[in-house]
Every structure is written in C-alpha cells, then in structure tokens.
Amino acid sequence: MKKTLFVASALLIMILFSGVKANAQTKDEAGTAYNAVLELSKTDLPAAVIKMQDVIKMCATVGAEADDLKKKAGSLLPAWQYNIGNNLLKDKNNDGALVAYEKSLEFANTYSDGNIKEKSEGQLVKLYASKGSQLMKSDSMDKAIAYFDKALRLDPEYGKALYAKGMVYKKKGDNAKLIEYMEKAIASATKNNDTLLMKSAKNAIGTVFSKEGVDAFNKKLYTEAVTKLNNALTYGFKSKDLYYALASSNNVIKKFDEAIEAANAGMAMDEQTNEKLARYFCEIAKAYEGKKDIPNACANYKKSVYGPFAAFANDKIKNVLKCQ
C-alpha cells in the first residue's frame, strides 16, 4: 500500500511539475502540488524538500492570491531539512549532516523559524568542532582553524572549540595564541562548570610556561626562569624538573626561602633514593649557606654527596664551610 501511494504521489508530482505546468497559473494547481508534496514527505523527505521549493516558485508565479500557500509551504522547509540532518547524523554520516544543517539554518533564516535556527546552530557548532579536530589529527592545521572559527562564529564561548583551536596553535609552535585560546576555554569551562575542560586547558598553559621556564634556566636567565616557572604553578602544573629549576634559579637571585620551598616540593615528587635526592639537598644547602645558617648548610651538603654532586658537596664540607 505504501509503495503504491509513493508511486502515485511521485507520478502526480511529475505531472504537476512537467512542461507548462511548472508555470502554474492558478492557486488550485499550486495547492494540488502542495498536497502531493505532503504525501511525498512521508516516504522521501529529501525529495519533498526539493519539490516544496518548486511549489513556492509556483505560488510566486500565481501571485498575491497564493501568498498564504507560499508562506505555508515555506514554513515546512526548515523542520524538514533539519530532520534530514538528524537522520544523517543517526547514520553516522557527519559530513552529510553538516551540509544538511547548514541548509536548515539557511531555511530557518529565510522563513523566520527561530526554533530551527537555534537547533541547527547547536548541531553545527558541534559538527564544525568535530570536523576541525579530524583535520587537526591529519595535520591540516589551517583547515582545522577554519572549522573551529565556523563553530566559534555561532557560539563564541564553545569551550571545546576554543580548547581545540589552542591545541592547533601548540602544534604550530605559537605559544602566545595557545595561551590566548586556553584562557578563553578556561573562562567557558568556569561558566559551564566543566572541570575536565578547565583542567586540560590549565595544564596546556602550565606546560608552556614550564618549558619556557626550564629553557630560560638552561640559558642562565634566572629571573625570567623564576617568573615562567611560577606562572606554570599558578595553572596547577607541577613536575620535579620544574621544582629543581625553580630552586636553583631562586638561589642564584638570592631568594633563599623560595629555593628551599621549591627543593622540598621537588624532592617529594622524585624517587626516594640518595642519588635522585642529592640535587635537591644540594640546593637546600646552598640556600642555607646564603642565609648564613652553616649548621643546616652542612647537614644538607652531607646528604648531597652522591653522583655528580659529590665532588661539589665534599669541597663545601671540607674546604669552604669546614663542617664538623
């Protein structure tokens, strides 16, 4: 029965839209075509969307007397097209769904359907961000950014797109842009109470500051190193190497209490062996030496006489401080 009805509907539509009838001159002809398309929509929604647009053209040819029918036909298109997108999404055809939702958004704007406009934009934001992430994985960075920008034009506070765009800039080596978009992602996550996104974005920024801080330390730019490493800590990023570099840099710029605090924090994160802990004890000893606290300096130098620190520590113990 359904098959017969579909064939009949299709045949009727072919007749109505063929030859001279495509330029319908009466409202009745347009109305008959409209009803046929309604039947077609029950079995073939994509075809119905196309044919209903032809009905609208027929109504325009008829003129003012068909304006109500024209408006009625137009009001169906946004929801029909949106449902096409939903069906494609269910079939996991994301690219097809993306195109369908773009069309439903276009229809929604044309026919003033605020509900479908909002729904279409909501789906497109997610699909644009997903497409951008796929492109990022395939190293198509500029194309990925273009899709993230499409998502952000519809929703400037969409956290996942902000975070992902920041990660693109990480791959491109643009730390300033990475931090800019991660800050925006943190703001979005805070607003939406998205703790996972917030943690990831903060970690991304903290990683950048930590690397820059360690690089500055290795270049003997100790004041810059302290600033960068402390910035990393404000974003919750912690590592034993960060704390060691921070302790050593603080000692050089004579911030001895901060050096001791950093060394103790790094020690707590490292392996609890004499060889691994020696570097922290050495920095603690240097800090106490700087503070003129010789007993504590000696005690900590004695704990650092292991591995590459042994010669330096023994010299301090025997020749410089003359520890007992």
Query: Residue 309: which of 273, 277, 267 has the closest Cα?
Result: 277
Average pLDDT over residues 16-37: 73
* Threshold 0.85, pTM exceeds: no
Whether 265 and 243 have beta carbons less than 8 Å apart is answered as yes
Distance CA 23, CA 58 (A): 6
3-state secondary structure of 254: coil
Backbone angles phi, psi at 304, to 5 degrees: -110, 15
Sign of CA dihedral 167, 169, 172, 175: negative
Distance CA 164, CA 167 (A): 5
- One-letter amino acid at 87 equals N
| pLDDT of residue 2 exceeding 70 | no
| pLDDT of residue 135 exceeding 90 | yes
- pLDDT band (50, 70, 90) for residue 25: low
Average pLDDT over residues 38-56: 97
Distance CA 159, CA 162 (A): 5
238: left (phi over 0), alpha (psi -120 to 50) or beta: beta
Distance CA 248, CA 312 (A): 15
What is the set of domains in the chain, with CATH numbers?
Answer: 238-324 (1.25.40)
- Quote the tokens at residue 290: 């700087």
Q: What is the pLDDT of residues 173-207, one digit of tens each?
A: 999 999 999 999 999 999 999 999 999 999 999 99
Distance CA 263, CA 257 (A): 10
Average pLDDT over residues 12-38: 70
- Quote the tokens at residue 211: 């690397």
Q: Which residues contact 66 (CB under 8 A, 6 or more apart)?
A: 27, 30, 58, 59, 60
Q: What is the pLDDT of residues 289-309, one digit of tens each?
A: 999 999 999 999 999 999 999
| pLDDT of residue 5 exceeding 90 | no
